[in-house]
A = this chain, B = another copy of it.
Amino acid sequence: MSNLLGNRYRVQIFGQSHSPMIGAVIEGIPAGVIPDMDFISAFMARRAPGGALSTARRETDAPRIVSGLNDRGETCGAPLCVLIQNADARSWDYDSLRDVPRPGHADYTAAVKFAGHNDIRGGGQFSGRLTAPLCFAGALALQLLKQKGVAIRARVHSIGGIQDARVDLAHPPMDGLCPGPLPCVDPDAARRMAEAVEAARAEGDSVGGVVECFATGLPAGLGEPMFDGVENQIARALFGIPAVRGVEFGLGFAAAALRGSQHNDPFHMANGRVVTAGNNHGGALGGITSGMPLAVRVAFKPTPSIARQQRSVSLSRSEDAPLCIQGRHDPCIVPRAVPVVEAAVACVVLDMIMEV
């Protein structure tokens, strides 16, 4: 453990890629809320496989709420449990999978940690499939946040080095992103990214990318320094998404190359509110929201499952061994990661609002 996220809006995730079910138990939802299942299902569909750029695996992601609602369908103060059925696991040669760990996957580290008892089927608890219940929790959080005037939206910032257009972090693109699996400001960039994904797929390879997420409408004053500030909590949540390798806020690593006179965002008054002209700080100062849009970027590594033969080891024979991964895999996880990033940020933002 721990598959537990949050203090006030607390999400306990469970399941493995091929366990009978996956799901989440959520505590802390205010009483009296009727979950908007249409909204939640539409949100979860954005994460589901089957899109133009993803794997052909079919998932049955229809979420079923089995506790936490009263006879009128309202949240009642009790923990809400949501279940998602897994399709039946295919017959498979698990022993060979268990013996030869896939590079870039958790097969080896999990085998060490759990003394060989880890669930090897489909990546077990390390599967991206576990982001489905996170998306449920995030979608429910978004429903609650909307009532508070908070919006959360992510875009594909780059794939394989191909970047979307730059945006003004003080006025992020909360709508108007191009439709399809690669929400970008610049449709042409989205097109070239799609080509890069297809090229990788055609070569039996994969490619990584960066997702950028914005939250607007946040009040100033959220976050609990020094270890439960905005950045700490969001980073902790985002690193729970498989394949994340880096998290940065505002200008992030680019800030390290600047002068203070360039990076500092001067305050000024606008319509009776204290604002900053730019938003290099990404909406958080000292771990506390400033009231400016929150801006966070998340780096995803290329999907480790590739069709090409790779070098690995046989754990049983303690010798080098080649590995060919079967099955169909996403050549790029980024399109499906966009709503997952939104969900993780939504859970944390709601938690912080409820903390105040």
Contact = CB atoms under 8 A, between A and B. Distances in A.
Give the oligomeric copy count.
4
Given A3-B27, A236-B235, A109 B208 contact: no
Nearest to A305: B260
A297 B299 CA distance: 13
B302 A117 contact: no
Nearest to A317: B269
Given A78-B119, A208-B263, 16 more contacts: A4-B12, A13-B79, A14-B80, A16-B68, A19-B78, A20-B66, A32-B117, A70-B119, A105-B285, A108-B285, A125-B225, A205-B259, A208-B257, A246-B247, A260-B306, A264-B310
Contacts of A240: 225-227, 229, 232, 287
A239 B115 contact: no
Contact of A1 (B28, B221, B281, B301): B28
A306 B104 CA distance: 44
A143 interface: no
Contact of A269 (B225, B233, B319): B319
A79 B12 contact: yes
A2 B351 CA distance: 14
A21 B113 CA distance: 32
A186 interface: no
A2 B60 CA distance: 31
A118 interface: yes
A70 B285 contact: no
B19 A221 contact: no
Interface stretch (A48-56, A166-174, A175-183, A248-256): A248-256
Given A232-B240, A245-B249, A312-B266, A76 B225 contact: no
Given A77-B114, A266-B103, A306 B27 contact: no
Contacts of A159: 256
A69 B104 contact: no
A236 B246 contact: no
Interface of A: 1-5, 10, 12-16, 18-23, 25, 27-28, 31-32, 64, 66-71, 74-81, 83, 89, 94, 101, 103-106, 108-110, 112-121, 124-126, 130, 158-161, 200, 205-210, 220-229, 231-233, 235-237, 239-240, 242, 244-253, 255-269, 272, 274, 276, 281-282, 284-291, 297, 299-306, 308, 310-313, 315, 318-320
Given A160-B259, A256-B158, A266-B312, A246 B248 contact: yes
A20 B64 CA distance: 10
A21 B207 contact: no
B125 A77 contact: yes
A69 B13 CA distance: 15
B320 A269 contact: yes
A85 to B, nearest CB: 9
Nearest to A102: B264
B105 A272 contact: no
27 contacts: A2-B227, A4-B10, A12-B25, A32-B114, A32-B115, A77-B113, A79-B125, A103-B265, A104-B263, A106-B225, A109-B284, A109-B289, A158-B256, A158-B257, A160-B257, A161-B257, A200-B260, A208-B257, A208-B258, A227-B236, A245-B253, A245-B282, A246-B256, A256-B301, A259-B302, A264-B304, A269-B320
